[in-house]
Amino acid sequence: QSQAQQALAIAPMVKVIRQVWLDSEWRMRTWVHRIAPERGDLHVSVLQLSFERVISANYLPDDAAIKVHIPSGVQEIFWDSIIDRKEQLEFIAANSAHYVEEWRFHISHQWRTEFSGVPSVWPESFAEDDHWTFRYLPWAGEQLAVSVQSPTPVKGFSQSFDQVNLRVTAGDQQRRVELEAKYRSSRGGQSHIEVGEGHHLNALIDGRKTHLQIQDEKINYTVAPGEHNLSFDWKESLALGFRSQLPQVNLNAPISNVAIQWQVPENRWVLWTSGPVIGPAIIYWGELLAFLLLAAIVWRSQLLPIKPYHWLLLGLGLSTQSWWLLVFITLWFIVLSVHQKYAEKQSDTLFNVVQIMLAIFSVFVLLSLIASIPMSLMSRPDMGIVGNQSNGYILKWYLDAAINTTPEVVIYSLPMWVYKLAMLSWALWLAFALVSWARWGWQTLNDKGFWRQSGSIIPSSKPSAESSKAPE
């Protein structure tokens, strides 16, 4: 009985926590937490906010105040309220000796809010994946003004594509086009994708087969809210020519992460491409330009024993196979010429060693040239296609964002038989040139004798007419 009397003698003290949610509904939950006394019944009056409408049946306001009864053994009670929608909400901390207040606000992204008055404090708990909670600990009489506005709608798209993959497999008379796209939409409805002329459409939406058709060069489909995947493939009746333009697909919505891929047919010789910056680069033409400049220098300097246009033809034929082979052959011509010029100044031992090395080098060069003939006729030309994981068999482009249409991509190519015919003509010329070069190489090696015995007489330093004559 004495403890009960002591409890009654203690003035009640509670903490009022108002948790506000501004979402599709504006609501508030008010907790009343016991502070003192720790035991016994507790009675206190909490002021009702001007914009608050209590919906809990047991806590109806009376004269702008809510009578709170916390039974013995209960630490806290709460009630729910609806908040009237206003552009500005005024929170005023009650000047009461029986309770203190705490205000918490959870704001949805659909509202723009500004707080002025009481400074905020750090939330009691926070995780990175949680929504931020604004927390305030006002003193008696302090005010907090909350300005709430709905963001002004901006005209735009309710649908956007996060990823678009376009793959084209070309044939002589028709090509297959595959389109995979991932989109997000805030609402449902109807949309269409402009693909141009096509037939035999196969359509999958979220992995389920859907019966759609290409009508008036469009694919009409139903847009569902949320994230979804589209997968279409169709065929186009289009002959493969010198200039091939990939289809530009209009998805009628902003697109990003656009990847385009073109499968190079085995019977086509790719010469040039145009498209997004991130894509294949054909470095062959830069190498060829450098070679032509070098050929002009060789033409003027007369460094080689062969005619300059022969070296030019040799380089053009080897340019799509191996530049290194051209380097070795050029070194062979230069080294043989230099050795012939300075052979008489060499010692017998050095002369013999150089002769053996040059003979081995000559066999290697001639066999490499002979092997290059069938290689040029049977292999694909190496155009030095690099960039964005592209090569001679597949070309890839990438674009980070576009308004609604995939970028323009153009490939210039020729039939492979054109390359084979050019290589056949070059191989026939090389076959005749090899006979002349082999004869010149043999005569050059034997001009001062192939092998010197110790103490032997060195032949005249004047080269023979046959060896000094440039090979045809």
Q: What is the pLDDT of residues 189-239, one digit of tens each?
A: 899 999 999 999 999 999 999 889 999 999 999 999 999 999 999 999 988
Q: What is the pLDDT of residues 171-191, one digit of tens each?
A: 888 999 999 999 999 888 899
List phi, psi (to 5°) of 157.
Answer: -95, 145
Q: Using the CB atoms, write b or e for 17-56: b if 16+ within 10 Å.
A: bbbbbbeeebbbebbbbbeebeebebebbbbbbebbebee
In angstroms, how far is the first alpha carbon of the chain from the final one? Answer: 130
- DSSP E strands, 275-333: 281-282
The three-class DSSP label of residue 387 is: coil
Q: Concatenate the DSSP letters of all residues of 64-91 into one string.
A: SEEEEEE-TT--EEEEEEEEPP-SEEEE
Mean pLDDT lowest among 71-75, 121-125, 153-157, 424-428:
153-157
List phi, psi (to 5°) of 364.
Answer: -60, -45
142: left (phi over 0), alpha (psi -120 to 50) or beta: beta
Question: pLDDT category, 164, cuts 50, 70, 90?
Answer: very high
Q: Give the mean pLDDT of 428-456.
A: 76
Percent of the chain with pLDDT over 90: 49
Mean pLDDT lowest among 125-129, 260-264, 265-269, 463-467:
463-467
Q: What is the pLDDT of residues 32-76, one digit of tens each?
A: 999 998 888 899 999 999 999 999 988 888 888 999 999 988 999
- The dihedral through the CA atoms of 198, 199, 205, 207 has a sign that is negative
Q: Using the CB atoms, write b or e for 402-414: b if 16+ within 10 Å.
A: bebebbebebebe
Distance, in Å, from the CA atom of 16 to the CA atom of 383, rounded to the nearest integer, reads 78
Has residue 316 got a pLDDT over 50? yes
Distance, in Å, from the CA atom of 96 to the CA atom of 14, rounded to the nearest integer, reads 11
Can you give the pLDDT at residue 61?
85
Question: pLDDT category, 394, cuts 50, 70, 90?
Answer: very high
Distance, in Å, from the CA atom of 317 to the CA atom of 422, rounded to the nearest integer, reads 9
CA dihedral 209, 214, 219, 222 (to 10 degrees): -50
**What would the two tokens of residue 436 be?**
């002349």
**C-alpha closest to that of 163 among 183, 177, 178:** 183
Q: Give the mean pLDDT of 272-295.
A: 91
Has residue 465 got a pLDDT over 50? no
Has residue 445 got a pLDDT over 80? no
Can you give the pLDDT at residue 40?
85
Can you give the pLDDT at residue 152?
79
The three-class DSSP label of residue 280 is: coil
Q: Give the mean pLDDT of 435-462.
A: 67
Question: pLDDT category, 88, cuts 50, 70, 90?
Answer: very high
Q: What is the mean pLDDT of the chain?
A: 86
